[in-house]
Amino acid sequence: MKAKLQTLEGQSTQEVELPKQFEEEIRDDLIKRAVLAIQSHNMQAEGVNPEAGKRASAQLSKRRRKYRGIYGRGESRTPRKVMSRSGTQFNYTGAFAPQTVGGRKAHPSKSEKIPALKINKKEKQKAIRSAIAATADLELVKARGHKTDSAPIIVEDKIEELKKTVDVKKALKAIKLDKELERTKEKKVRAGKGKVRGRPYKKKKGPLLVVSKKCDLVKSAVNIPGVDIINVKELNTEALAPGTQPGRLTIYTKSAIEIMDKEKLFK
């Protein structure tokens, strides 16, 4: 499989041979498993207070001569606490048990539970290769809503040296991604309580820039809506397939492709 190498001016110079990772079978099921495994590690453990609903001085006794017992009274075995009494007669109310008002939960959530999901190493590697291959499927990329005429997009290494956001936008427009940048500008007000929890807007995912090293592009492109930057050695299924949906528009630098092929990443 080959792809055209483009300059920052949008001109095609030569063809680049893509590594074998781009020829992997696209497995939606593996990609979804891998993405959910990554997302599960970001979940915060939560649980109720172990003493919640258990602070009442409630007890129950069916023994014959037990003080405050209910022997011979024809009452259920629900634990009760004393609200008032008159001599040897007590005014009880249910407490502590799950079916009582203010009682404990029957099966409360526990903070010691580990929410992280696991995935086999070989399945994880295959999922990444599958997500990489999906970035080369133009029909799949367009089905995700991206506005482009080619996939994947290979750009010369000069893009990693751009220090200004204006220059990055100019380069992306030169490789015919101006409609994509317009699409990612849109944002909608989120429905529900998320608006008061620090996430009022829903934003669209744009192109993913895969670079070969730590460079100026990481800072200069971070403010462009929808655009993400990642090192080729740190590629993962969540970046390549956000929302578990494969086929994200991805831009690779020439050096990133060479590193992927030379070091046989994700094999």
- DSSP 8-state code for residue 73: S
Q: What is the average per-residue pLDDT within 195-208?
A: 94
Domains, the chain, with CATH or none: 2-42+120-188+202-262 (3.40.1370.10)
What pLDDT does 176 receive? 93
Q: What is the average per-residue pLDDT within 198-227?
A: 94
Beta strand 153-155 pairing with 250-253: parallel
Percentage with pLDDT > 70 across the chain: 100
What pLDDT does 227 receive? 96
Quick one: pLDDT band at residue 104, thresholds 50, 70, 90?
Answer: very high
What pLDDT does 68 receive? 78
Return the number of other C-beta atoms located less than 10 Å from residue 45's C-beta. 12
Is pLDDT of 106 > 90? yes
Quick one: 68 exposed, middle or buried, by C-beta within 10 A (0-12, 13-18, 19+)?
middle
Secondary structure (H, E, C), 106-170: CCCCCCCCCCCCCCCHHHHHHHHHHHHHHCCCHHHHHHCCCCCCCCCEEECHHHHHCCCHHHHHH
What pLDDT does 88 receive? 76
Supply the mean pLDDT for the chain: 93
| pLDDT tens-digit series, residues 178-199 | 999 999 999 999 999 999 999 9
Quick one: 43 exposed, middle or buried, by C-beta within 10 A (0-12, 13-18, 19+)?
exposed
What pLDDT does 8 receive? 93
What pLDDT does 117 receive? 95
What pLDDT does 65 receive? 85
Q: What is the average per-residue pLDDT within 77-104?
A: 90
| φ/ψ of residue 171, rounded to 5 | -65, -40
What pLDDT does 167 receive? 95
pTM metric for this prediction: 0.84
What pLDDT does 209 receive? 97
What pLDDT does 70 receive? 83
Q: What is the average per-residue pLDDT within 200-226?
A: 94
DSSP lists the bridge partners of residue 208 as 228, 250
